[in-house]
């Protein structure tokens, strides 16, 4: 490693993919733009990141900004290879994830042979929560009495190993959100404990 690389200020961008890890580095000292591609390490993405930094001879102490991206997560979603996930959502909005955007700009909308993609979460794993919050945060229908344990058990019975929430007009940090975050875990999230 050269003295310049040790004392330079580097801005680093890394993309970890399933096959390769790409690095782009801007050296603020001499304005050089460096890049490299190294094999990714399945099951240990950080090893690929460190190999990429090593390939350019970058001292970790010289990094002033680090941006990380990954196509692994994107590919997992696109290929439907992720964890089987359950969804708690506002009552009446269970199918929004499947309907998607119905704008006329969507390719193939008028094509009767259009191959529509399957939703990320199967309909049987989308559970409705009987609650409603107005856009201004006013609670129109409270969660009191909703049995989170039963919903968690239903998701678990259907082999969901992960959970997600998508609700309307809910602000994070509110008592309602804290109560919702605490309750649904249990059986539903056993795989992540």
Residue 58 maps to which CATH number? 3.30.420.40
Within this chain, do residues 96 and 186 fall inside the same structural domain, yes or no?
Answer: yes
Exposed e or buried b per residue across 15-26, where buried means at least 16 C-beta atoms within 10 angstroms of its C-beta: bbbeeebbbbbb
Within this chain, do residues 24 and 72 fall inside the same structural domain, yes or no?
Answer: yes
Within this chain, do residues 178 and 101 fall inside the same structural domain, yes or no?
Answer: yes
Domain region containing 100? 83-192
SS3 88: strand
| Helices marked H in 117-159 | 148-157
Q: How many domains does the chain have?
A: 2
pLDDT tens for the 193 residues of the chain, in order: 444 455 679 999 999 998 999 999 999 999 999 999 999 998 888 999 999 999 999 999 999 999 998 888 888 888 888 888 888 888 888 888 887 766 555 666 667 776 777 888 889 889 888 888 887 778 888 877 777 778 777 777 788 887 777 766 665 545 555 555 555 444 444 433 3
Contact predicate 18/37, CB 8 Å: no
Within this chain, do residues 114 and 167 fall inside the same structural domain, yes or no?
Answer: yes
pLDDT of res. 4:
42
pTM to 2 decimals? 0.56
Within this chain, do residues 135 and 119 fall inside the same structural domain, yes or no?
Answer: yes
Name the domain boundary from 59, 76, 93: 76
C-alpha distance from residue 69 to each of 12, 38, 65 (Å): 11, 15, 14
C-alpha distance from residue 152 to each of 55, 177, 181, 186 (Å): 47, 16, 12, 7
Residue 164 to residue 188: CA distance in whole angstroms:
10
Q: Where do the DSSP E strands lie in the chain?
A: 10-16, 20-27, 32-39, 63-70, 85-90, 126-129, 132-133, 139-141, 162-166
Within this chain, do residues 68 and 94 fall inside the same structural domain, yes or no?
Answer: no
Name the domain boundary from 76, 99, 118: 76
Within this chain, do residues 54 and 109 fall inside the same structural domain, yes or no?
Answer: no
């Amino acid at each position: 490693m050269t003295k310049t690389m040790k004392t330079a200020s580097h801005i680093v961008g890394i993309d970890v993919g399933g096959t390769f890890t790409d690095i782009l580095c801007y050296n603020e000292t001499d304005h050089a733009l460096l890049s490299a591609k190294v094999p990714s390490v399945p099951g240990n993405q950080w090893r690929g990141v460190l190999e990429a930094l090593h390939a350019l001879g970058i001292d970790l102490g010289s990094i002033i900004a680090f941006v990380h991206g990954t196509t692994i997560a994107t590919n997992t979603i696109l290929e439907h290879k992720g964890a089987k996930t359950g969804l708690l959502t506002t009552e009446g909005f269970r199918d929004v994830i499947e309907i998607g955007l119905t704008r006329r700009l969507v390719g193939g909308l008028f094509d009767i042979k259009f191959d529509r993609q399957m939703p990320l979460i199967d309909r049987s794993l989308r559970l409705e929560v009987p609650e409603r919050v107005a856009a201004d945060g006013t609670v129109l229908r409270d969660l009191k009495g909703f049995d989170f344990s039963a919903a968690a058990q239903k998701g678990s019975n259907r082999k969901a190993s992960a959970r997600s929430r998508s609700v309307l007009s809910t602000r994070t940090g509110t008592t309602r959100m804290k109560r919702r975050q605490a309750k649904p875990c249990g059986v539903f999230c056993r795989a992540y404990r």
